[in-house]
Every structure is written in C-alpha cells, then in structure tokens.
Amino acid sequence: MKILVADSINEKGIEILKKEVDVVVDPTITPENLLKTINEYDGIVIRSRTKVTKEVIEVADNLKIIARAGVGVDNVDVNAATDKGIMVVNSPESTSITVAEHTMGLMLSLARKLSIADKSVKEGKWEKKKFMGMELKNKTLGIIGMGRIGSQVVSRCKAFKMDTIVYDPYLPDEAANQMGVDLTDLETVLKNADFISIHVPLTTETKHLISTEEFKIMKDSSFIINCARGGIIDEKALYHALKDDVIGGCALDVYEEEPPKKDSKLFELDNIILTPHIAASTKEAQRDAAIIVAEEIISLSKNETPQNILNMPRVDNYKDYTPYLDLCKKLGSFISQAVNGKLNEIEIIYGGEVAELPNHELLTRSIIQGAVNPYLKGEVTTINSPIVAKERGITITEGVRNDAKGYDSLIKVSAINGNERFSAEGTNLHGPRILKVNNYWVDVKPEGHMFIAKYEDVPGSIGKIGTLLGENKVNIGVMQVGRELDSGKAIMVLTLDHEVPEEVMEQLKSLENIYNVVKLTL
C-alpha cells in the first residue's frame, strides 16, 4: 500500500506506517497537487488542514482509506467517499482521556474559583474571603451523555467520592449497571446535580438542550460544564442564568460561534470560565491519534477491518466476525456466479453460533460485496456494497435460526430471481467450505476455478464430463458429487487447475443428461 501523510502528525504514527507500507510525507501539500497526485495512493492521512473534497475523491481511483488523526471529519466529503467505497476512519478514543481531564480541571476551577483567584492575585489583591470554595466530595455529578468521554469523567469523579446520576436515553440499562451508574431522566439530573457535565454530540435533538427552562430547574448553586460542542447550551439563556444567579457558574470549552465575537456578553461575567476549544489538545492525544490511525491503515493492509470506520456501522469484538468474512464473500460470489448475476434478491440465513452475534451487518455487507463484484468494473467494498445492491435493484433479506445442521455455524445464501432460487450453505472449517448446494450435500473449498453441473444420476454422466475436461487438458483438483434422494438427480461441484475454455463449456452444455453447467472463479 502507498500512503500519503498530507498533514503533520506525530512521528510515532509515521514510524508505525513505515514498517509496513510505503509512506510519502508531504504535510504542506497544496490542494492543486493533492488533486494531481491522489490517484497514486491507496490511503491518505490527514488532520484538519487538508480537505478531501468530492473533486479529490472523484479522481482518487486507488484510494481505499481516508484516515483522520483526530475526531471531526468536517474536512472530508464522507458521502462522496461512501459512494466510491472508500472507508473514512478517525481516532475518537485518542482524545477521551484528554477531554475528561480538561473537564476535571474546569470542575475544580469552578469549585475553587481558581481562574478569578489567579486574576485577583496578579492584580495585587489578597481576597481570601471572596474565594471561599467547595469540596467535590459528596456532591452530585450529573452526566449528560455517557459515552467515551462521559464515562471517563465518571470514573475520575468516583475517585473524588462524588455521587453520579446519568441522562443518556441511548445507553442500555445493562451497560449502565456495568459502569456502576444510575440512569435517570434529564429533569432529575438538572434538579439534583451540583455539577452537570455535557458529553453528547450536537444533533437536532441536542441543539439548545439546555436553555432558559432547564436553567430554571437547576439548583441556584449548580455548575454546568460543556466540553462537547457549542450550541448544546443556548448561550443567550446562559448569559441571563449566570447574570441573574439562576445557577452558580459555568465553564465552556466550545461555543455557538468559534471563536466567539470579541464583544460577547459572556466575557463580562465573573462566574464563567472560558477555554479556547483546547479540551482535546495534549501531546498525548495527538500522539495517540497518529498511532491509532496508523494502526487502522496497517490492519487494512493486512486485509483486516479497521475499528473506527465512520461510514459503516461499528462492530464491537471484531475478532468474533473475522472467521466468517471470507466465507461470506465466497458464498456471495458463488451463488451470484452460479446464476450468471441474474438475481433480484439475496436471502441470507445465519444459523448456529454465527446467528448469536449481536450484529450481522458486516457479514451481510461482505456477502453483497462478493455477489456484485464479479459483475462490476470498479472494486466494490463493504462500505458501498449496500448502495451498489440498491442501485442494481437487489433486495436483501436476512434471518437467523438456532440450527446449524450439526455444524457450529452455517450460513445459507440464496440468489432469488422470480420463482428461481439457487442456494449455497457454508461454514468455516480451517477456511471457507461450501457444504450444501441447493438440496445436495457436498464439501468443497470455494477457491480458484470451479465448475458446477446438475446431471441425471445414471451410470456414465460423471464420466462424460470428466472425459471431456481431460481431453481439453482441464485438470480436476477436487470432485464432489451430491445426490438428491428420490429425485434421481445429482450435482457435481469441481475445483479445476484451469478455467474451462468457452468452446468446452458449449460442448459440456450439449451433453445428454447434463444440465445447468456453470463455471465460476472464486
């Protein structure tokens, strides 16, 4: 893989990349040069300077990954990347501890009035009474958003012997139990917390989540901290709440407009602490961001799936999925080639242990990828495979069953075209294996050149095919035949050392008692 590092990132990340892939470091590359050279690269690493626009993506014919060392991807056209099958990754966990520590710093500064005490001493004053503070011990922390950062703040506040209540309607009770916190509604948090810390994303739902009415519910001594995103707190309402002592104080790292206007009314107040969006700015966070994105690129270079893909649903415990990924791709490719790409529905049934995985999206995407790739020029990836299937009018249906017919796991994939259906069932036994084709049990490794034919289960049918292939110097690797009870029909699945030439295919199709002759490449 050839990777362009287009912004300055921590040296550690570059070191890791250089051990495994070709790296070009050009942290001052201009937009014009990026446009000219991007098609040479398989991956690009950026921070916030370089913009990966739709125009760049359109000409980036070899690009597979856009890696943002950091969190926000406002400088990447993620939709254009998704359409082209390019994954966009970031490093959200690189900043969690850094932001949580900044939050703690602000909380302590509010409790002990550190910023105004500092200002007062520097002005030559000694106002000990004015700066009477409070302990964090036994105070109630109210967390809004118990994700990566919120949970880090909670664990630090536990060390300060604070009680915690949490508002996060998307956090399952089980996860909250494991974290040792009590979930409650927003009003209870507002009413009871001495310190409220916001850690939700800015969405239409969280815009102005805290405004005039919410300030009224809060204790008049309470403090609120926002290290998440500007706009979650309504700044006009905040100004009045602080000025009229509706609440005790506030600390902000993020603003509705950044930087805030020079004449912002918030600057007039003593009971607010303001920092310039630096909660994530530590050397450690930048180093970790560079290491994380370098590792994401290395995993892609080893055909593994990176962890922080933004344009694909997140998979926890990725290792649980890896045994099935290749199998899924092969099953998709097998059924689709077997029907010459003529399918308007793919039906997938996960059976046994694989059915118990919490999320099958990655596996389903791999099946679709395998099914559509043989018929398209550009490489389809797990990022854009559902989009490509939709564009081609292919419906995907998915189900689970407990039974795996004696195996630990069994995945059944069917290509459906009107009333016709072609199915293959497979498992992972030291690599992908196909165990059933339609109603016939077989056992074959789906790889290289293959051949399937249905035939009358009468003496001579198998011999005719073997002879014709042998006469044309097509060597058979493995031959698996499966017979259907009662119907008198059987199926043959062969792996071959060479592709069957077209003229031989025509002769095979004309043989008596032989039908549905198809060649495949897996």
Residues annotated as catalytic (active site), given as ranges: 229, 258, 277
Applying CB under 6 A, which of residues 76, 144, 153, 233 lies at the interface with ligand NAD? 144
199 scored as a contact of ligand NAD (CB under 6 A)? yes
DSSP state for residue 249 in the 8-state scheme = E
Instruction: Write out the two tokens for 101.
Output: 């520590």
**Based on CB atoms, which residue is closest to ligand NAD, 35 or 179?**
179
Contacts (CB under 6 A) with ligand NAD, residues 76-95: 92, 95
Which span (276-284, 396-404, 451-459, 500-508) binds ligand NAD, by CB under 6 A? 276-284
**Least distance to ligand NAD, CB of residue 250, Å:** 15
Say if residue 276 is preceded by a cis peptide, omega within 30 of 0. no
Q: Are strands 476-483 and 514-521 parallel, antiparallel or unpaired?
A: unpaired
328 scored as a contact of ligand NAD (CB under 6 A)? no
Q: Are strands 223-226 and 22-25 parallel, antiparallel or unpaired?
A: unpaired
254 scored as a contact of ligand NAD (CB under 6 A)? yes
167 scored as a contact of ligand NAD (CB under 6 A)? yes
Instruction: Write out the two tokens for 375.
Output: 């018929």
Contacts (CB under 6 A) with ligand NAD, residues 98-117: 99
Which span (18-26, 44-52, 225-233, 303-311) binds ligand NAD, by CB under 6 A? 225-233
436 scored as a contact of ligand NAD (CB under 6 A)? no
Cα–Cα nearest to 86, from 114, 54, 110, 112: 54
**Based on CB atoms, which residue is closest to ligand NAD, 225 or 442?**
225
438 scored as a contact of ligand NAD (CB under 6 A)? no
Cβ neighbors of 268 (< 8 A, separation 6 or more) are none
Q: Is 68 helix (H, G, I), strand (E, B) or coil?
A: strand
Which span (197-205, 325-333, 390-398, 499-507) binds ligand NAD, by CB under 6 A? 197-205
DSSP 142-178: EEE--SHHHHHHHHHHHHTT-EEEEE-TTS-HHHHHH
Instruction: Write out the two tokens for 217.
Output: 């519910």
Total residues at the site for ligand NAD (CB under 6 A)?
Answer: 30
Applying CB under 6 A, which of residues 23, 89, 238, 279 lies at the interface with ligand NAD? 279
Applying CB under 6 A, which of residues 227, 247, 493, 514 lies at the interface with ligand NAD? 227
**Least distance to ligand NAD, CB of residue 202, Å:** 6
b/e sequence 140-159, b meaning 16+ C-beta within 10 Å:
bbbbbbbbebbbbbbebbee
Applying CB under 6 A, which of residues 63, 153, 238, 280 lies at the interface with ligand NAD? 280
Applying CB under 6 A, which of residues 12, 148, 421, 489 lies at the interface with ligand NAD? 148
190 scored as a contact of ligand NAD (CB under 6 A)? no
Q: Where do we find the tokens 């082209």?
A: 84
Applying CB under 6 A, which of residues 205, 258, 263, 316 lies at the interface with ligand NAD? 205
170 scored as a contact of ligand NAD (CB under 6 A)? yes
SS3 content of the chain, % helix, strand, coil (to 5): 35, 25, 40
Q: Taking phi first (over 0 means left), then psi (-120 to 50 degrees means alpha), and beta for anything else, what does residue 374 get?
A: alpha
Q: Are strands 432-437 and 420-428 parallel, antiparallel or unpaired?
A: antiparallel
**Based on CB atoms, which residue is closest to ligand NAD, 311 or 423?**
311
**Based on CB atoms, which residue is closest to ligand NAD, 91 or 423?**
91
Q: Count of CB atoms within 10 A of residue 177's CB?
A: 11
**Least distance to ligand NAD, CB of residue 268, Å:** 23
**Based on CB atoms, which residue is closest to ligand NAD, 205 or 263?**
205
Residue 56 CA to residue 66 CA, distance in Å, equals 11
206 scored as a contact of ligand NAD (CB under 6 A)? yes
Contact of 462 with 453, CB cutoff 8 Å? no
Query: Contact positions toward ligand NAD, by CB under 6 A?
Result: 71, 92, 95-96, 99, 144-150, 167-171, 199-201, 205-206, 227-229, 253-254, 277, 279-280
